[in-house]
Structure 1
Amino acid sequence: MTHSIDIVTPDLCDAHPEVTVLDPMFANFGGLEAFYGPIRTIKCFEDNSMVKQAVAEPGNGAVLVVDAGGSHRCAMLGDMLAEQAVANGWAGVVMYGCVRDVEILASLPIGVQALGSHPRKSEKRGEGQRDIGVTFAGVTLQPGQWLYADNNGIIVAEQELPLS
């Protein structure tokens, strides 16, 4: 149930001026350049234990939004967690932080946007919070809102947008 249709965020912005646009700081790393779904959130810093826990659960077409504090000191998602996210039906991951194993991420049928790549893995201390509002890129993202992402940027809507 992966939402990987051809969405175009500029067209969605034109049709729905009420949407919120994240500041342009993310790059595409996943095999899907466009993805969308309801938001599920994690807030953590240099510890991806909660990310690992989330991608092991059914995604049901949701987008995992991770506020990793904007850290450029380690990766919070790599090939093994991304493969698990694909297997469990996540539409994508937006990482306010870094990812690794970028060649493999690019081959997987999942959307992944992040600030950059980093070869070092994160700590595993079991720290973090789930399903709370997270704020980065000039926007507060809440669980249950809808996120739409492509190479033009990332937008957030209060409810699912019609895509025709």
Structure 2
Amino acid sequence: MTFATTDLCDDHPQLLENGCLAVLPPVFRHFGKARTFCGRATTLKVFEDNALVRATLEAPGNGNVLVIDGGASMRRALVGGQLGLLAQNNGWAGIVVNGCVRDSDELDACEVGIRALGVHPQKSSKKGEGERNTRVIISGVPVCPGDWVYADADGVLIAQQKLA
């Protein structure tokens, strides 16, 4: 699918106005080879624990985007090189992390798109705590399971319906 987030915003001003289309704040860094990606959102809410992230990425992604609300923690990484490979090999279109990643060189070699707030060398805990397929808030923007995520060099959009 070919799209540009700028064009999607220009083509859908009414959706931006009524909140059915939202733009994430420009605080996310790009990782992975796929600079442009889109798909339906699969959501996780975790805090400094990535056991659910691994379990989710081990399943077929079917072109979806994993949206992880990590509470914007800058104290531990939720996604690293091994999980980037899982995402690539299991058909995930991308990952959006409201938190940190690590192994950035390994992530940059993966055929998947990844956005995160930053990098941190410390791994997360593995207790399995968190929520799957629930409404999350990413930088003030609500994301529900099944919403559409569109990401490119200009930004990340969250849409309540397929746009392109």
SS state at 2:82 partner? helix
Question: Where does residue 10 of structure 1 map in the other structure?
Answer: 6
AA at the equivalent of 2:11: A
The count of aligned residue pairs is: 158
Distance 1:7 1:110 in 2: 17
| Structure 2 unmatched runs, 5+ | 16-20
| Deviation (angstroms), 1:136 | 2.2
Distance 1:16 1:146 in 2: 14
Percent identical: 47
RMSD: 0.9
1:5-84 matches, cutoff 5 A: 5-17=1-13, 18=15, 19-84=21-86
Deviations 1:83-138 (A, max 9, x none): 01111100000000000111111111100000000111000011010000001212
Contact 1:96–1:114 (CA<8 Å) still a contact in 2? yes
SS state at 1:54 partner? helix
Contact 1:38–1:144 (CA<8 Å) still a contact in 2? yes
Distance 1:138 1:47 in 2: 21
1:109-124 matches, cutoff 5 A: 109-124=111-126
SS state at 2:59 partner? coil
AA at the equivalent of 1:148: Y
Structure with a larger share of its residues in helix: 2
Question: Where does residue 139 of structure 1 map in the other structure?
Answer: 141
| Deviation (angstroms), 1:6 | 4.2
Distance 2:112 2:162 in 1: 19
Distance 2:92 2:138 in 1: 21
Distance 1:89 1:81 in 2: 12
State the 4+ residue runs in structure 1 displaced beyond 6 angstroms: none
